[in-house]
Structure 1
Amino acid sequence: MTGRTLLLLRHAKAEAGFGVIDYDRSLTDRGHEQAGAVGRLLAEAGHAPDHVICSSAKRTRQTLDGVLEALPGGRPEIDYSESAYTAGVDSLLELITYVDPDVRTLLVVGHNPTIAQLAAAFVGSEALMAYSPATVSAIDLEVEWLHTAPGTGTGRILN
């Protein structure tokens, strides 16, 4: 075991977006509550990210803020990524492979269907149906970030 943990988080509940550009959609009140709950869940499970890849969309940034407010300790290094907003599974995996080898726990905050599809590659196909807003999974990787790919770790959905 390399002692690396990959956390995959779908953004919390966002407004429907009527009259708003998708990129600029905000979290609902429920979404803000969900983000805080995920932060508390990660804290209870002992998952404190030391690096974050976060889609640059408003709802993912707001989700991350809520998660980090509920986590003890300092803020991790954060990469707000335009690429993560539009990424498919292969592109998101590529972003993960670039993470510094010294990072032990990586949190990726993104969008469906990509987050659910990537989670399913590690936790099984049930993730495809189970990944509602603010769902997070933890994958224990057996390799360094550079070699992250389906089959290189095992995971579970945390909530």
Structure 2
Amino acid sequence: MTKRLLVLRHAQAEPLIDGSDHERPLTPEGRDQARTAGAILASDGVLPDRVVCSTALRARQTLELVARAVPHSPAVDYERDLYGADVSAALELITRTDPDVETLLVVGHNPTLAQLVAAFMPDEPLDSFPTAGLAAIDLEVEWLYAAPGTGTVRMLT
């Protein structure tokens, strides 16, 4: 049985002027980007059973807007470790997914998510993974064994 990993970079956020990078909110354009990503998931029928989301405000706001566009509310795990994760740490979070989950959505940050998607595309360069970039990776293995080379990527945005 194929598992599907959805990878979503947070939508455009306000620049850091002062305060914490962790608490940067989405811009109005970012809100539109997030709604568009949700509409793409809903129209393609690519709906997550579970979500792993960074605790950063811009990631949480992206998820909130995406979730409004889909017909059901998946369970969400907010992971502070995803905020500063490298590819290896992100893959570790993915491999801990319950085996009953068919489709997992990961909402986080670049450069990690771009590098994660690129790792599953060894024969194609990933030119960019913009804000609200969305990719679907169809895995040929269970979550426990998810790693580069075990799935194929389809860019959704």
State if a TM-score over 0.5 links the two structures: yes
RMSD of Structure 2 on Structure 1 (CA): 1.0
Q: What percentage of aligned pairs have identical amino acids?
A: 53
Give the secondary-structure state (helix, strand or coil) at the position aligned to 2:120: helix
State the match for 1:35 in structure 2.
Answer: 34
**Aligned mates of 2:19, 2:12 — CA distance in 1:** 15
More helix by share: 1
Q: 2:107 aligns with which of 106, 109, 114?
A: 109
Number of residue-to-residue matches in the alignment = 156
Give the secondary-structure state (helix, strand or coil) at the position aligned to 1:86: coil
Give the secondary-structure state (helix, strand or coil) at the position aligned to 1:155: strand
Question: In the TM superposition, what whole-angstrom CA distance separates every residue of 1:2-35 from its partner, at most 9, and x where no partner exists?
Answer: 2210000000000001113100000000101110
Amino acid at match of 2:129: Y
Where structure 2 has 5 or more consecutive residues not aligned to the other structure, the ranges are none
TM-score for both structures, normalised by structure 1: 0.95
Q: Are 2:128 and 1:134 aligned?
A: no
**Aligned mates of 1:6, 1:22 — CA distance in 2:** 27
Q: Are 2:155 and 1:152 aligned?
A: no
Q: 1:97 aligns with which of 76, 95, 98?
A: 95
**Aligned mates of 2:41, 2:121 — CA distance in 1:** 18
Q: Are 2:43 and 1:44 aligned?
A: yes
**Aligned mates of 1:60, 1:66 — CA distance in 2:** 10
State the match for 1:81 in structure 2.
Answer: 79
Say if 1:123 and 1:157, in contact at 8 Å, map to a contact too: no
**Aligned mates of 1:101, 1:27 — CA distance in 2:** 33
**Aligned mates of 1:41, 1:54 — CA distance in 2:** 19
Give the secondary-structure state (helix, strand or coil) at the position aligned to 2:17: coil
Give the secondary-structure state (helix, strand or coil) at the position aligned to 2:137: strand
Off by >6 Å, runs of 4+ in structure 1: none
Say if 1:11 and 1:111, in contact at 8 Å, map to a contact too: yes
Closer, same or farther in 2 for the Cα pair 1:123/1:157, shift >3 Å? farther
**Aligned mates of 1:116, 1:45 — CA distance in 2:** 22
